[in-house]
Structure 1
Amino acid sequence: MQRRTFIVAAAATCMLISGTVQAQSYRAEYRLSTTLGTAFPWGQAGERWAELVKEKTQGRINIKLYSGNSLVGGDQTREFTAIRQGVIDMSIGSTINWSPQVKELNLFSLPFLMPDYKAIDALTQGEVGKELFAVLEKREVVPLAWGENGFREMSNSKRAITSPADMKGMKFRVVGSPLYNETFSALGANPTQMSWADAQPALASGAVDGQENPLSVFVAAKLSTVGQKYLTLWHYVADPLIFVVNKQVWASWTPADREAVRQAALQAGRENVEKARKGIAGNDNAVLKQIEAAGVTVTNPTAEQRAAFVQATRPVYDKWSKTIGADLVKKAETAIAKR
């Protein structure tokens, strides 16, 4: 009886010590990185995730949002490497920004792969999305949920664009991915890679003529005030977001808290997608009306006009399909066809 009492007491002591060690392994604060701040749906998603995590873990996990990729000096393309290295604990990252390190994420940047929102959902919420999460899990991060920055539309300060010929010689700011350079070069434009922090001053000064971004960014950044008076709705690529946690940070939490963080990410992701599409998708065109009210000429290419853009960029599509992986691209094309 005395031996049994000793064993029970020892077990209880071990549990207490284990709990204390676990509590001590939690940091006072975790760093969450996003590219855009809380004026944008992207940054708001980060704010919401942090809020939900604190609520669901009863304050055990506290998150501080660092927008503008400030943890990597504003360089969007360095973010994924910094997460793997532990410089960043958590992120809601762009598939575009991470694609230089994760070639499969270039899938979403294949020109004119996804014609509508149902096509995006067919990829992120289906087998393709699961396969991409499996790829990320091998890279020292734990992917939890999908969000959305949206379809990237083209604007400029010169003229309405309805064909590749209209883009000839124009300077466009593009993100730091060679796929975007090649796409705009194939259309006859002059692409210039720069961070978003540098893009707005460049647009204001006329150093570049145009840019491509989701409509939510166009509105929140007030791009009509920096010369962007012509907008083309061509849906050429989309930019899904991914909620991730550094693998070592993830391992430091209890299973219960990991599940709480996952559920918080899923909820914040759903809310983010809804917010990113509000006023844009379906019959809701409130955002377009707001843009037009700011004096912007909005051009919606016909099917025939859009086909000219598709044809001009097809060699880029074919080349990058091999880099991404022919099987993955085929799966994506099949999923979209069945949507």
Structure 2
Amino acid sequence: MKRRSLIQLATASVASVALPRYAFAQNAYKAEYKMSTVVPPAFAWGKGGEIFANLVRERTSGRINIKQYPGASLVQGQQDREFSAMRQGIIDVLCGAPINWSGTVRELSAFTLPFLLPDHKAYDAVINNAPLMAEYFSMVRKAGAEPLAVGETGYRQISNSKHPIIKPDDLKGIKVRVVGSPMYGEIMSSMGGNPTFMSWADAQPALASGAVDAQENPLEVFLAAKVNTLGQKYVTKWNYSNDILLYAIAAPVWAGWTPADQKIVREAAQDAAKQQIAIVRKLFADDVQAVSALGVNVHVPTPPEIEAWQTATRRTYARWKAQIQPAFIGKIEQIVAASRKA
């Protein structure tokens, strides 16, 4: 009996030492968590990532150190590979636009249909609708990431080197650089444009050389990247698409953090998103004046002109709504319609 008791005591002693070590090994934090952003902090999008990383570092006393990798450098500038790279463990944190990941997780690009969100009133009504966003966040979790918060990438406008684009026919024959989204490509081709898929890094020399005539991006990007120096003389502020900026953590990384740290990180993302949206809105309010001051011709479409664009993209809209997430997009449409009446 005495021998058996000694064995049991020894076993218990070993377990009491081994279990904490095992638990520590399981929950050991990385020295660095890699976050991908397409643009650097000179842009509102990249600034949102920087704010988030700084808040997390401060609030966790350095336990969670998020390092920003702008230019989608973790995937050699190919922003359409970010989500798949996160699944492979190359990227730990995403601060990005789901439209870039539509080739991997198409359903997450539901907010980007042409003219779905006509203005900021509609945009805010949608992203502040708790049941809708809870449903969207469930889709993100199913795809392999923990969603934390939503910012704003900004309304996308079109610029070109040829002539003012006022009506759909004005796009005929124009070679337009678009991000790696088949939907964006189809929007341009449906109006006679010639879409060319390329990263932003490749787009800039292509615009400068005249190999590409046009590009579509928020005017904030136009200003920060000095796109007017790349031969872009004409801008149309048509607000045709505005994607969310999604803050998300790779599911395995999220699972390795304590509940207390998860709470800190989530709140940091929400605070960063609010600050990032405020930056986007200020830039949006001033962008026409700022771009015009560069000697660029800026056209702001009238309501009838916007209606003509909506009509021209209706077939593309219907086709991609059916392919992406028709029931979910239907709910967005209802929220937008209600915001028009409020």
Q: Percent identity?
A: 49
Q: 1:259 to 1:10 in 2, by over 3 A?
A: farther
For the aligned residue pairs, the C-alpha RMSD in angstroms reads 2.2
- Work out whether 1:206 is the aligned partner of 2:210: yes
CA offset at residue 337 of structure 1?
A: 1.0
Consecutive unaligned residues in structure 1, runs of 5 or more: 1-5
- Work out whether 1:331 is the aligned partner of 2:335: no
Whichever of the two has the greater Rg, that structure is 2
2:38 partner letter: T
Match of 2:39 in 1: 36
1:245 partner letter: I
Match of 1:252 in 2: 256
Match of 2:145 in 1: 141
| Aligned with 2:265 (options 249, 261, 270) | 261
Separation of aligned partners in 1, 2:24 and 2:184 = 50
Given that 1:279 and 1:288 are in contact with CA atoms closer than 8 Å, whether structure 2 keeps it comes out as no
CA offset at residue 17 of structure 1?
A: 4.4
- Work out whether 1:220 is the aligned partner of 2:224: yes
Separation of aligned partners in 2, 1:20 and 1:189 = 57
Separation of aligned partners in 2, 1:335 and 1:83 = 32
- Work out whether 1:311 is the aligned partner of 2:311: yes
| Aligned with 2:92 (options 89, 92, 114) | 89
Match of 1:3 in 2: none
Consecutive unaligned residues in structure 2, runs of 5 or more: 1-9
* TM-score of the pair, normalised by structure 1: 0.92
CA offset at residue 200 of structure 1?
A: 0.7
Match of 1:183 in 2: 187
CA offset at residue 36 of structure 1?
A: 0.6
CA offset at residue 19 of structure 1?
A: 7.0
Separation of aligned partners in 1, 2:302 and 2:19 = 67
Given that 1:153 and 1:215 are in contact with CA atoms closer than 8 Å, whether structure 2 keeps it comes out as yes
Counterparts of 1:1-339 in structure 2, within 5 Å, are: 17=21, 20-21=24-25, 25-126=28-129, 127-280=131-284, 285-339=285-339
Given that 1:34 and 1:68 are in contact with CA atoms closer than 8 Å, whether structure 2 keeps it comes out as yes
Deviation track 1:74-94 (CA, whole Å, cap 9, x = no partner) reads 111110011112110101011
2:265 partner letter: V
Aligned length: 331
Deviation track 1:264-320 (CA, whole Å, cap 9, x = no partner) reads 11111111111111132xxxx422211111011110111111111111110101111
2:103 partner letter: P
2:230 partner letter: V
* TM-score of the pair, normalised by structure 2: 0.91
Given that 1:187 and 1:309 are in contact with CA atoms closer than 8 Å, whether structure 2 keeps it comes out as no
Given that 2:176 and 2:215 are in contact with CA atoms closer than 8 Å, whether structure 1 keeps it comes out as yes
2:64 partner letter: I
